[in-house]
Amino acid sequence: MKTSILDILRIGIGPSSSHTVGPMRASREFLVRLGTRLVSVDRLLVELYGSLALTGHGHGTDRAILLGLEGCKPELVDPELIDETISSIRNTQKIKLLGERQISFGENLDLVFHRDIAMPGHPNTLRLTAFDDAGDEIETALYYSVGGGFIAREGEVQAREEKQEPPYPFSSAEELLRLGERHGLAIWQIVLANEERWRGEADVRAYVAKIWNTMQGCVARGLKTEGILPGGLKVRRRAPNLARRLAEKKTSDPLGALDWVNAFAFAVNEENAAGGRVVTAPTNGAAGVIPAVAHYYEKFVPEASEDGLFRFLLTAGAIGILYKENASISGAEVGCQGEVGVACSMAAGGLVAALGGTNDQVEHAAEIGMEHHLGMTCDPIAGLVQIPCIERNGVGAVKAINACRMAMQEPEHKVSLDQVIETMYKTGLDMQTRYKETSQAGLALNIIEC
């Protein structure tokens, strides 16, 4: 096992984990690794390739890089101060590297979008090069933003903290089910035991509580914040009005809870589109699915409890690990099936665990959640994480609830989760590049203005 659930569920900012969070981390890491050589830097050149270049402006990649060069971390940066920081850099054309070394930085010369060049290593690629005052190169590095905020530096195995071997390592859903059967453990208990080996139960529970609190805060902000989303499409936030109408509506509609699920999902992804604080779960573009299903459980399931939410998030994290390690969670690599599809699969399995279902039912629900997202393209209009992304999270959340119900009513199934994960990955590799977060096909091409 290489991945922790703390990697799958992470606090960051919108609008994109691969186009915002990843480039911010890469820019900062490049400078940190310069160490004492930072004082010699007189010019910095940042070049973007592939999907990062094609949809970077719509996804806020340019802003993210400026923040990363200033030393900001996605999980700590204050969203309320971002506009002020960006405006200062652009007005003065100066940037303070890691908050220490001030140099000139003009985006027209120093931040280059190579829209006609794709690098072979990954669709989301950026190169950073530092020069001294004589114009000589100090350091250059190629980074890949591989989805979910993860980054990799070319030529290196992704650096990871040294970890003890967990008591229950697994690399497939089949292994996970066998471990549960052999040791009499639920999936969430296996995950907890593994995480405890690395950081202790108290820390794990505190982190999960922080993730849930962040999700709740994001939903609350999204349900009350009015206005037009940035980017030029003039998309109006719908979550506040939808929540208001639902609260005022007196009805016995048996599907009324699903209207709230849509509202919860819209709230998160409208916050994400506005650059707000979200939980990457497993990506920003799919950040609304898991919070929406968790809120459904908390507000509409009579036996809901804090323990149930804990089971939900740990189980969802385990499923996310399987996709991260065996396939991809990058829309630029496998399309939206790797984002909303994975989030739906995670949420479906997590909800089964929260409701007290068996490990087999968890696996079945997760399989259903992905099976019916296979082939989903990533084609955001104008490169913005708004259309179809916001509604797609609502649909994905409702699918997750349905997948949970189907799995708990009829456990027998022919297709395994491992098989559908492999199918998703191969389908993504077969998908034409123009349908994978490039805004060169699909809705992005056929609906130019909204």
Q: Which tens digit of pLDDT belongs to each residue from 12-47? A: 999 999 999 999 999 999 999 999 999 999 999 999
* Within a domain: 382: yes
> Is residue 181 classed exposed, middle or buried when 0-12, 13-18 and 19+ CB atoms within 10 A define those classes?
exposed
Measured distance CA(43)–CA(110) in Å, rounded:
8
Asked whether residue 139 falls in the same domain as residue 187, the answer is no
Q: Where are the beta strands (DSSP E) in 25-160?
A: 43-50, 94-97, 101-104, 111-114, 124-131, 137-147, 150-153
pLDDT of residue 250: 75
Q: What are phi and psi of 50, to 5 degrees?
A: 60, -135
* Domain carrying residue 132: 19-145
* Within a domain: 204: yes
Angle, vertex CA 295, rays to CA 303 and CA 282, nearest 5:
125
The pTM score is 0.93
Asked whether residue 318 falls in the same domain as residue 430, the answer is yes
Asked whether residue 430 falls in the same domain as residue 391, the answer is yes
* Within a domain: 54: yes
Measured distance CA(289)–CA(302) in Å, rounded:
21
* Contact predicate 23/126, CB 8 Å: yes
132 HSE (CA, 13 A, CB side): 9
DSSP β-bridge partners for residue 152: 144
* Contact predicate 273/390, CB 8 Å: yes
Owner of token pair 């981390």: 25
Residue 208, classed as helix, strand or coil, is helix
* Within a domain: 66: yes
Give the chain's mean pLDDT.
95
Asked whether residue 341 falls in the same domain as residue 198, the answer is yes
Q: What is the pLDDT of residues 140-189, one digit of tens each?
A: 999 999 999 999 999 886 544 556 889 999 999 999 999 999 999 999 99
Total structural domains within the chain: 2
As given in the structure block, the two tokens for residue 422 are 């492999």
Asked whether residue 134 falls in the same domain as residue 189, the answer is no
Asked whether residue 329 falls in the same domain as residue 204, the answer is yes
Asked whether residue 213 falls in the same domain as residue 356, the answer is yes
Asked whether residue 137 falls in the same domain as residue 179, the answer is no
Written as one letter, the residue type at 382 is A
* Within a domain: 156: no
3-state helix, strand, coil in the chain (%, to 5): 55, 10, 35
Asked whether residue 65 falls in the same domain as residue 208, the answer is no
* Within a domain: 13: no
pLDDT of residue 448: 65
Asked whether residue 300 falls in the same domain as residue 378, the answer is yes
- 450 versus 79: which is more confidently predicted? 79
